[in-house]
Structure 1
Amino acid sequence: MKIVVVGCTHAGTASVVNMKELYPDSQITIYEKNDNISFLSCGIALSVSNIVTEPEKLFYNSPENLASQGIITNMKHEVLDINFDSKTLLVKNLTTDDVFEDNYDKLVLTLGSWPIVPKFEGGNLENIVLCKNYDHAKTIIQKSEEAKNIVVIGAGYIGVELAEAFELKNKNVTLIDSQDRIMAKYLDKDFTDVAEAEFTKRGVKLALGQTVQKFEGDKKVSKVITDKNEYEADLVVLCIGFAPNTNLIKGKLDTLPNGAIIIDEYMRTSKEDVFAAGDCCVVRFNPANENRYIPLATNAVRMGTLVARNLVKPTLKYMGTQGTSGIKIYDLSIASTGLTEEVARSTTSLNVASVTAIDNYRPEFMPTFEEAKLKLVYDKDTRKIIGGQIISKIDLTQYMNTLSVVIQNEMTIEELAITDFFFQPHFNKPWSLLNTVALMAL
């Protein structure tokens, strides 16, 4: 069996490693435009702030390691075209410029995503950079050393983490977003208010509810102009969001309007023997019971693993996702899963309700204890739980992993209220925070 994998970051790496284990006699060929694989871009901010001292540590696999397992690992090779009927590919060696044809029995598309870059006036000035891959990481680290005024555009997780990292390096930081809150997709206002207060307290300028109009400067950027204000900038980092990197298959496979490849529960595309996984695909978003585009590394590695399991015959179904995620901002540990109350009300027809519990995470007779805030979002008609958020100075983020399982299994507030969780004064109270918030909903 001849398998070709196009793109090899998280989904690609997971599929290749598992396919080699399951089908050791198969011929597996990788075509990857970059010269590296498996880079964890979520760790770029950790490199900027020197928590991770070398960005090279953010790789968990290498072309050399895959090649040592007998996988044909072609770095700096770009697939120019795919003929799904003849099962052939046109490939360019980016080092030599040679173009050649290859063929496959099974094709795995793990094309990933790419940062959204609107056409700004002045967008070609120097020191306006993206934040996605290893080369971007090196550029950001190098340029931030010399920069004094840094503007981050986009207040999702990556933008927020970078803003913190730059502030920790004593830079003048401005965080711009067109939304009126940071991390608006992941958290409701009562949670983002707490996070925003941390940034404001440390001097980070939050320019929210503003849209970037243009950049000004002489060769290098020196100013960012929005519809409401202007900001000095020696360095601008674009973190506006991501789109599926699927121009290669445009018009050839079934996709969403944004280009995300539509797959079934076995990772199969609309063409026979063609599979797809990771940031180039749709995912089944369980809380809303619909397909959505949610680019996350956790989704990617699961989907890549499922490609290998289903390559020859449908074997293991994709269970969907709750979009569970977490972030640490200064002393605050924050996590969420499923739908926020705001997103649920604006994007679904569910009869949405929520409750919020604020309590110390363990008994007050202990030498120390810390307050935690946990929100539960549910559907009043079905009683099913559809989302949750937690914030505390203690790391209680694993509660959201538990709640992710609750949502996936369509549990009700009644069931969560009386679910068995252990009690030990070092860790919690007799009623778990999850019990407590569900009891409040009753």
Structure 2
Amino acid sequence: MKVAVIGCTHAGTAAIVNTAQLYPDAQITVYERNDNISFLSCGIALYVGGVVKDPQGLFYSSPEQLAALGVQTKMRHEVTNVDTARRTLKARNLTTGEEFEDTYDKLIMTTGSWPIVPKLEGIELEGILLSKNYNHSNTIIEQAQKVKRITVVGAGYIGVELVEAFQMNGKEVTLIDGEERILSKYLDEEFTAPIQQSLEEHGIRLALGEKVAAFAGENGKVTKVITSKGEHETDLVILCIGFRPNTELLKGQVDMLPNGAIMVNDYMQTSLPDVYAAGDSCAIHYNPTGKHAYIPLATNAVRMGTLVARNLVSNTIPYMGTQGTSGIKIYEDNIAGTGLTEDAAKAEGMDAESVMLIDNYRPEFMPTFEQVQVKVVFERATRRILGAQIMSKMDLTQSINTVSVCIQNKMTVDQLAFIDFFFQPHYNKPWNFLNTAGLQALPKTVKEPVHV
């Protein structure tokens, strides 16, 4: 069996390693246009901020490790064409310029995503950077050392983590986003408001509800970000607007979402039987809505990549879908979320209700205790849990993994009230805060049976 893999970050590495282990006789060739593989891009802000001193810890595999598994790894090779009807691909050696054709029996597309770069006046100016891969992170660190004012465009996870890292390194920081709130895709306002306050208290300037219109500069270098509401002087700009799937190679050959994300079935197959896909190039089954969605997360990628290998020869283990579970730490606040926010549920046209709990996570007779804020979103008619969010100075984020399992299994908010959790005063109260949130959501009256 001849297997070709295009792209080698999270999903690609998982697919390759597991394929090599499961099918020792397979001839596996991986094509990667970068000079490194398996970089944990979610660690960029930690690297930029100096928390991670040795960047090699952000790599969890290498071409040498893949070679030890018998994998032929073609680094600095770009695949320029895929012909699924002929089962061929064309590739270019980016070092020598050599072009050649290869064949495959099974094709694994793990091409990932690329940052969205808006077509705006001045976008070509020096000092406007992306934040996606290892080379980007090194460029950011190098250029940030030379400047005083840094502007980050995009208030998602990466953008918010970067402004924190820059501020802690003594920079003057501005965060711009077209939305009125930061992290609006992940959290409701009850959670984003205190985070925004925390950022501002640390001296970060928030320019929210502002859309970037252009960039201006002097001597070829960016000096100003022009928005719908004004101008922001700057020495460096980091674009964190979002990501698009890298799927041009299969355009018109397999089924995709409008944004180009490849649609796969439960076994990671595309609409063509011997073409598989995983990771940020894919649309996934989103359990809270039951629809396909584009949710680029490393956790999804490694699961999908592993399942590609397991299902490469026959359908063995189906994908369970995702809740889009994620977490972030901003200064002293530990925050996590899973499934739909209340805003997102209503945008989907769902009749959603929510319950908010603010309590101390463990008994007040203990020497210390921290406040926890929990919100659970559920469907009004069915009571099915749709999502949850949590925030505390104490790291209680693992509780969101519990709610993720609840959503996975279509549990109701009423069942959440009575799930069996342990009690120990060091860790919680007799009613765990997730139980308490469920109890708070219970109907306030109980209908008496009608006797005939």
Q: Same-fold call, TM > 0.5?
A: yes
AA paired with 2:223?
A: S
Deviation at residue 271 of structure 1 after TM alignment:
1.2
Q: Secondary structure at the match of 1:404?
A: helix
* 1:276-287 matched pairs, under 5 angstroms: 276-287=277-288
Q: Which residue of 2 aligns with 1:30?
A: 30
Counterpart code for 1:152: V
1:338 aligns with 2:348: no
Equivalence map 1:179-198=2 (5 Å): 179-198=179-198
**2:64 alignment partner, SS class:** helix
- Counterpart CA distance in 1 for 2:233 and 2:427 is 47
Q: CA deviation at 1:48?
A: 1.2
d(CA) in 2 for partners of 1:259 and 1:243? 8
Give the corresponding residue for 2:382.
382
Identity of aligned residues (%): 60
> 1:55 Cα deviation (Å)?
2.4
Separation in structure 1 between the aligned mates of residue 82 and residue 427 of structure 2, nearest angstrom: 55
**1:44·1:55 contact (CA, 8 Å) conserved in 2?**
no
AA paired with 2:281? C
State the partner residue of 2:200. 200
Mapped contact 1:55–1:138 kept (Cα < 8 A): no
Map 1:112-261 to 2 at 5 A. Answer: 112-218=112-218, 219-261=220-262
* Alpha-carbon separation, structure 1, partners of 2:28 and 2:361: 50
Structure 2, gaps ≥5 residues long:
443-452
**Residues of 2 paired with 1:147 and 1:240: CA distance?**
22
Corresponding residue of 1:302: 303
Matched, 1:434 2:441: no
Q: The residue matched to 2:362 in structure 1 has which SS?
A: coil
| Aligned-residue offset at 1:298 | 0.4
Shift of 1:130: 0.2
Partner of 1:79: 79
Is 1:42 matched with 2:42?
Answer: yes
Structure 1: unaligned runs, 5 residues or longer: none
Query: Cα offset for 1:272?
Result: 2.1
What TM-score results when the alignment is normalised by the length of structure 2?
0.97
- SS of the residue 1:16 aligns to: helix
CA apart distance, 1:68: 1.6
Matched residue pairs, number? Answer: 441
Specify the alignment match of 2:405 in structure 1.
Answer: 405
Q: CA RMSD in A?
A: 0.7
Cα distance in 1 between the residues matched to 2:270 and 2:4: 15
Secondary structure at 1:224 match in 2: strand
* In 2: Cα distance, 1:35 partner to 1:50 partner: 23
Equivalent residue, structure 2, for 1:323: 324
Query: For 2:410 and 2:137, how far apart are their aligned partners in 1?
Result: 40
| Equivalent pair of 1:32/1:78 in contact (CA under 8 Å) | yes
**Structure 1 residue 229 displacement after superposition:** 1.4
SS in 2 for 1:421: coil
TM-score by length of 1: 0.99
| Alpha-carbon distance, 1:69 to partner | 1.5
Distance between the aligned counterparts of 1:282 and 1:227, measured in 2?
Answer: 32
DSSP 3-state at the match of 1:146: coil
Return the offset for 1:91: 0.9
Q: Deviations over 1:277-310 (max 9, x none)?
A: 0000000000011100000000000000000010
Contact 1:176/1:206 (8 A) holds in 2: yes
8 Å contact kept, 1:55–1:137? no
**d(CA) in 2 for partners of 1:84, 1:222:** 47
Structure-1 residue corresponding to 2:265: 264
Cα distance in 1 for partners of 2:433, 2:38 equals 36
